[in-house]
Structure 1
Amino acid sequence: MVQKIPLQPDEIVFLKGNTGTVGVVKFAKNGHIFIGTPDKEEIVMFLEKEDLIAVSAIKSGSFSEDGIKSLIFLLRDVGAPLVVLPSDHPTSKRLPMVASCGERVRLDCNITPGTHPEQDILCACDDLSGVEIKGVKGGLEIKGPLKEFKVEKFQ
C-alpha cells in the first residue's frame, strides 16, 4: 500500500508509533550535509529541494516532537553535520534521536542507532519498522504499515 502525503517546504510530518516517532521534512533547497564517519572521513552528501531529512525519536509525545524539530533545524538550517558512530560504540545505546537524509529512507528496528553511514536506512520503533518514505514533488510517498501521522507547520 502506498500513501501520498502532501508536504510543503515549511511543514513537517510526524509518523507515530506506540513507542517512537519519526519526523520528516523536505530539505527545501539545493545544498549539502556533511557526514562524519567512523573511518575518520567526511562525506559530503548533496541534496535537492525534494530530498528528505528524517529524524527518529525513541519515545513518543510532544517532548520528542520538539527534539525532532530541533535536530532538523540544526541539520537543515544551521548546517550541523551528521555523525556516524562505529558499530560497537557504547554511545549508540544512549542516542535519543537519530537522523537520515536523502531521496528515500527505510525505517528499520533491527539496526544499531547512529551507526549507518548509508543514508537510506534509519533506526525506528517496532511499529514503524518496514515503512519506506520517498520524497516526491509536492510531498511524500509512504509504503508500508503506517497507522497514524500528522502534518503541521515547521517553525
Structure 2
Amino acid sequence: MLARWDEMIVPLDGETLLLRGERSLLLAAKASSRFVLFIETVEDEYCQAVDPDDLVAVSMPEGGPAEQAEMMLELVRRYHTPLVVLPKDHPGSRRLSMVVSVGPQIHLSCTIQRGTHPEQHLLCSSEEFSGVSLSGIPGGVVIKNLPSRIEVVVLDGEKSAEDKQQ
C-alpha cells in the first residue's frame, strides 16, 4: 500500500500547481477572477459561478507535456472557454488526452469516463491520482490523500507559455 499525505497546504498566488506522477499529471491554478463558466451538454447549457479562490484543474491521465495542459488551463481561466460534456459512452471520450474541472473542490477518480461529467467537483484521473482531492482556499490550495510518490511543483505564474518559447 502506498503512503499518502493526509493533508498538505500549498501556497498559491498566481502560480500554477503541477502534480506529476510516474505516468500522468495534473495542473491546477486559482481562477483568479469571478466569472461565469458555461458547461455545454447535448441537451442543455449550465451556468456555473466561479470565484477567484476556485480552482481550474486539468488532468492528463496518460501524461504528456505540461505546456499542453497549461494552454488548456489558460483557455478556461483567462479566456473563459466553455466546457463541453459528452454523453455517456460517446466514442470520443477515449480520445480525450486532457479533461478539465472548475470549482472550489475537485475530487479525482479513475472510475469515471472522461469528459462525461457536468459535475465540476469530479475529475477523471489515472489510478495513481485516484482519491486525491484539491480545495481552493485564500492564498493557496489544500491537497488531501496525496500518494507520497507524486511530485508537487509550483510553477512560476508570471511566465506564460508564450514567454517560455522565446
Q: TM-score range by the shorter chain?
A: over 0.9
**Residues 17 and 125 of structure 1 are in contact (CA less than 8 Å); yes or no, is this contact kept in structure 2?**
no
% identity of equivalent residues: 36
1:5 aligns with 2:10: yes
Which structure: larger Rg? 2
TM normalised by structure 1 equals 0.93
Specify the alignment match of 1:19 in structure 2: 23
| Alpha-carbon distance, 1:17 to partner | 1.5
Length, aligned pairs only:
151
1:33 counterpart = 2:34: no
| TM-score (normalised: structure 2) | 0.87
In angstroms, what is the RMSD of aligned CA positions? Answer: 1.1
Task: Give the distance between the partners of 2:94 and 2:77, measured in 1 at CA.
Answer: 25
Partner Cα separation in structure 1 for residue 114 and residue 125 of structure 2? 8
Matched AA of 1:60: G
1:5-154 map, 5 Å: 5-8=10-13, 10-39=14-43, 41-61=44-64, 63=65, 65-146=66-147, 147-154=150-157
Aligned equivalents of 2:80 and 2:122: distance in 1? 21
Moved over 3 A (4+): none
Task: For residue 58 of structure 1, report the CA deviation from its aligned partner.
Answer: 2.5
Deviations 1:3-28 (A, max 9, x none): 000011x2100111121100000000
Which secondary structure does the structure 1 equivalent of 2:146 belong to?
coil
